[in-house]
Amino acid sequence: MSSANTILNKLCTIAAALTLLYSCENKIKDLPSSARSSRAQVPEEGRQIESYLSEAGKVKGKLTSPYMLRYQKADTPYSEFPRTLHVDFYNDSTNIESQMDAKYGKYLQNQNKVFLRDSVVVKNILKGDTLHCKYLWWDQNTQKFTTDDSVQIYTKDKILFGTGMEADQNFRWYTIKHLTGSVLTSENAMPMAPSK
């Protein structure tokens, strides 16, 4: 009789365990939408990123970054570059004409725009003109940079200060929306950034 009780107890224990396992199973469709969206938000991770931008078969730019997170399954897919990014822009002769650096970047895939922030610098290698700002939008469709924030542009003979700016991505031309001042500098000395 005791062996029958032992077998019965074991069967009851196994049945209870199976019931618990079955009742704890969740199907994706049974999860609340917040849990489903957080599962979709797991980013793809990339290191030592190197990406080329081309137009009509010609290389127009090269983006490099030590680290990237890509949120492909988000409602609006995007990629983040939380540990700096650098872009070399090429002219028609495939020589580097300008460079852009930022400590953070976010590429909005559907809009084909990049938001840059934190120590943003754009430099035209050929002219030497250099832009410094806190944040900047780069529209890949129009191939332009824009910002509504304060800007400082260093040229060979002056520093321009202003608020708001538009420029082409090679920094050949730029327009400061509200010029707030300028300082003449020596032609032989590169102007220093004002202390903050």
Residue 31 pLDDT > 70 = no
Write down all domains in the chain, each with its CATH number in brackets: 45-184 (2.60.450.10)
d(CA 132, CA 110): 27
Picking from 84, 151, 167, the residue whose alpha carbon sits closest to that of residue 118 is 84
Residue 192 pLDDT > 90 = no
Please classify residue 165 by burial: count the beta carbons closer than 10 Å to its beta carbon, then call 0-12 exposed, 13-18 middle and 19+ buried.
buried
Task: Output the furthest CA–CA distance in the chain (Å, rounded).
Answer: 106
pTM: 0.72
Ramachandran quadrant class, 70 (left: phi over 0; alpha: psi -120 to 50; beta: rest): beta
- What's the mean pLDDT in 11-30? 48
- What's the mean pLDDT in 34-57? 78
- Give the model confidence (pLDDT) of 91-115 as tens digits: 988 899 999 999 999 999 999 999 9
Q: What is the mean pLDDT of the chain?
A: 83
pLDDT recorded at residue 22: 46
Residues above pLDDT 70, as percent of the chain: 74
pLDDT recorded at residue 26: 46
